[in-house]
A and B are shown apart, each in its own frame.
Chain A
C-alpha cells in the first residue's frame, strides 16, 4: 500500500518535472505571430509557409491566425494597427488599400532588406509609401481580373472565348438560348460584384491613358468619363439581359466557384486566384475552367486588367522585428515560392525573380500567362495606379447588377464615395 503511494507520488513528481521542462523549452523559442485572411487557399498557403520556415529555424515559432476578408478585414487591420495590437507579420492588400493603412507611420521600412534585390520592381511600386520607402514583400502571385468560363459548355455549344464585348454578349445569348445560366453572380458576398467595373480598367486606360492621374487629382469622374462609365453600364446590361443564375442575390463566392466549375453556369467574372478555390471545392473539375480578360469594344486591342499580389508587412509595434524579417525573406525567396505552389497552386506569375511555375498548370493559369508575357497586353487595375478606392463600390455594384439602381446613378454615387476616401487620405484637390 505504502509502496504504491510512493510510486504514485514519484510518478506525479516526474510528470510535473517533465511538464516544467517542456514549458521551459517552449519559452526559449521566439514566438512570431502571423495574421492572414481566411480564404481557404490563403490559409493552406500560410500554414505551409509557417511549417516550412519552422523546420529551417527551430528557434522560431510561427503562430498563425486568420481574419475575415473584405470590409470586415479592412476594419480589423486598421483597428489593430491603431491600437498597437497587430501581429508581428501580417498579410494585406497592396495598392490603394495599403495606402489607407497609413504605412509611413505604422509599418517597418523594408527598403534595404537584402531580399528586396529579388523582388520585381513593379511590385515594389505598389507597397511604397508616400515617403518613397518600400514597406512590403510579395506573397502569392499576380492575378488577372476577368471571366472564368466553363470549357465543356463552350465545347458543347461550339463557342470561342470572345475578344470583344459584342462577341461576349453573343455567346451569352447562345448559352441562354440553350437553357443554361450564362453569367454567374454571387452577391451574397458583396465583394464579388465588382469585377465588371474593376476588371474593365484595361479598356478604360486604353481609351483614356490620363484617367488615373486626373482621377487622383479629383479632375476625372466615373460619371463623366464615358470609358469609365462602361463598366457600370455593362453590369446593368448583363442584368437586363436576364443572364444571371436564379440565386444570384444570395449565392456566395464558394457557390460561384462551384457553379462555374461544375457547369451550372458558363461565365463567372472573378479574379484568377479563384483557381485555388476550384482546386479546393471541385478538384475533379479543375481542367473544365478556362479564363479570358473582360473584353472591350475593340477586338483588336484585347487586354487584361491585372492585380498585384498581397504584401507581407511588419508593424512598428512588433517586438520581434528581426525574426519577422527572416520569415518575410523566406516567403519572398525561390524556396518560399515553391512552398506556395505546392500548398495552394500558382494562380499566375510570381513577383520574385526566378520563381518558376510548374509545367502542368491548370487551364485558368495557362490562359492567363500569355497576357503577362511578351507580346501580351495587360495593365494594372486602378487601385495600383491611384491611392483612392471608394469603400462602398461593392454595394453600388450589387445595386446596379441587380437592377435596383441605374448605371448612371451608380457611377455618380461612386464618385461621391471616392471623394470621402480622398478627403480622409488628405489628398490635394478634394
Chain B
C-alpha cells in the first residue's frame, strides 16, 4: 500500500506527464479520486511518519526525535526478527516458485479431471488464514497432534513442530507454502498456456528431449510469470503476520518472531510510537528489497 503511494505520487510531481494527461478529462473529474487518495493514503502516511518520532499514548504525543528508531534497532529480539523475516520470505517464495511451476506443468498436461484438480490446488488460497493456522496448530501438537500420532504409529518420534525453536519458523513457512502455492500455480498455468505451441513443435522437430524442451522453451518463456510469483510471494513473506500469529505468536519465546509480529507486540503493549516506527522500518525494508528485485527481474525479461 505504501509502495502504491510512492508510485502514485509520481504523476503529480512530474509536470510533463501532468500536462499530457490534463487535457483528457475536466479537472473536477479527478477530484473524487484525489480526495480519497489524500485522505486515505497521503494523510496516514505523513501522520505515521510524524507519530514514529513521538512517544504516543493515542491521546497525547511527546516529540522524542529518532529515539524510537534507536530503541527499535536496540530491541534484542529485533535482529533475530529481521533474520527470521528474510529466512521466511526467501523460503516461502522459493518453495512457491518451484512447487508452483511443477504443479502448473502437471495441471497443464492431459491429466484426468484437470479442471477439478486445478480447483483443488487453489482451494487453500480461499480458506481463512487464521482458520488454517489454528487447524495446523492442532495437527502439529507435539504429543496429541495428528502428524506426530501418525508418525508414532510407524515408530518415528516426531519433533515439536511448533514448540522446538529449531523448527517453529520452518513449520509455519511450510503451512504458508501449502496455503499459497495455489496462487503461484494459477499464475504459472496462465504463463504456460500462453506459450505458442509452435515453439514446442519446432523443438521436437529439432530432436529436443522433453527435458530440453522444458529447460529451453518453457522455463525462459514463463519468465514473466516467475517474476510475478517471486515478487508477490517475497513481499507477502516479508510482511507476513497472520499465519505466524495464529500458529506460534512468535514463540516459543521470541524464536519465530518476524518484524511484523515484533511490531504488533509493541502495539499490544501500548508502545504506539515505537510500533509506528517499526512499521516505517518495515516499509523501508520491503521497498529496499523489493524495488531492486523487481527491477532486476523485469530487466532480465526485456533482455530476452
- Could you tell me the distance between the alpha carbons of A398 and B251 in the complex, rounded to whole angstroms? 9
Contact: B253 with A398, CB < 8 Å?
yes
- Could you tell me the distance between the alpha carbons of A83 and B59 in the complex, rounded to whole angstroms? 9
Q: Which of A64-86 contact B (CB under 8 A)?
A: 71-72, 74-75, 78-79, 82-83
Contact: A190 with B268, CB < 8 Å?
no
Contacts of A72 in B (CB 8 A): 268
When each residue 366-400 of chain A gets 1 if its CB lies under 8 Å from chain B and 0 otherwise, what string results? 00000000000000000000000001100110110
When each residue 261-296 of chain B gets 1 if its CB lies under 8 Å from chain A and 0 otherwise, what string results? 000010111110010000000000000000000000
- Could you tell me the distance between the alpha carbons of A413 and B76 in the complex, rounded to whole angstroms? 7
A37 vs chain B, min Cβ distance (A): 15
**What residue in chain A is nearest B64 (Cβ atoms)?**
A423
When each residue 156-174 of chain B gets 1 if its CB lies under 8 Å from chain A and 0 otherwise, what string results? 0000101111000000000
Contact: A250 with B274, CB < 8 Å?
no
Contact: A71 with B163, CB < 8 Å?
no
Q: Which of A391-430 contact B (CB under 8 A)?
A: 391-392, 395-396, 398-399, 402, 404-405, 413, 416, 420-421, 423-424, 426
Interface window among B23-31, B117-125, B141-149: B141-149
- Could you tell me the distance between the alpha carbons of A402 and B268 in the complex, rounded to whole angstroms? 24
Q: Is A100 on the interface with B (CB-CB < 8 A)?
A: yes
Contacts of A100 in B (CB 8 A): 270
Contact: B252 with A398, CB < 8 Å?
yes
Contact: A249 with B163, CB < 8 Å?
yes
Given contacts A102-B57, A424-B271, is CB(A247)–CB(B251) below 8 Å?
A: no
Q: Is A301 on the interface with B (CB-CB < 8 A)?
A: no
Q: Is the interface of A mostly helix, strand, loop or mixed?
A: helix
Task: Point out the residue from B59, B62, B253 that lies within 8 Å of A405, measured CB to CB.
Answer: B253
Contact: A399 with B143, CB < 8 Å?
no
Q: Is A187 on the interface with B (CB-CB < 8 A)?
A: yes
Q: How many residues of chain A have a CB within 8 Å of chain B?
A: 33
Given contacts A75-B268, A250-B162, is CB(A402)–CB(B143) below 8 Å?
A: no
- Could you tell me the distance between the alpha carbons of A396 and B257 in the complex, rounded to whole angstroms? 13
Contacts of B57 in A (CB 8 A): 82, 102, 424
Contact: B76 with A249, CB < 8 Å?
no
**What residue in chain B is nearest A72 (Cβ atoms)?**
B268
Given contacts A102-B59, A247-B141, A423-B55, is CB(A74)–CB(B252) below 8 Å?
A: no
- Could you tell me the distance between the alpha carbons of A398 and B74 in the complex, rounded to whole angstroms? 21
Contact: A75 with B267, CB < 8 Å?
yes
Q: Which of A296-312 contact B (CB under 8 A)?
A: none
Task: Point out the residue from B143, B253, B267 that lies within 8 Å of A404, measured CB to CB.
Answer: B253
Q: Is A7 on the interface with B (CB-CB < 8 A)?
A: no
Q: Which of A91-124 contact B (CB under 8 A)?
A: 100, 102, 105
Contacts of B62 in A (CB 8 A): 426
Interface residues of A (CB under 8 A from B): 71-72, 74-75, 78-79, 82-83, 100, 102, 105, 187, 190, 246-247, 249-250, 391-392, 395-396, 398-399, 402, 404-405, 413, 416, 420-421, 423-424, 426
Q: What are 12 inter-chain pairs, A to B, with CB distance below 8 A?
A: A74-B269, A74-B270, A100-B270, A247-B144, A391-B270, A395-B253, A395-B254, A396-B253, A398-B253, A399-B254, A421-B269, A426-B62
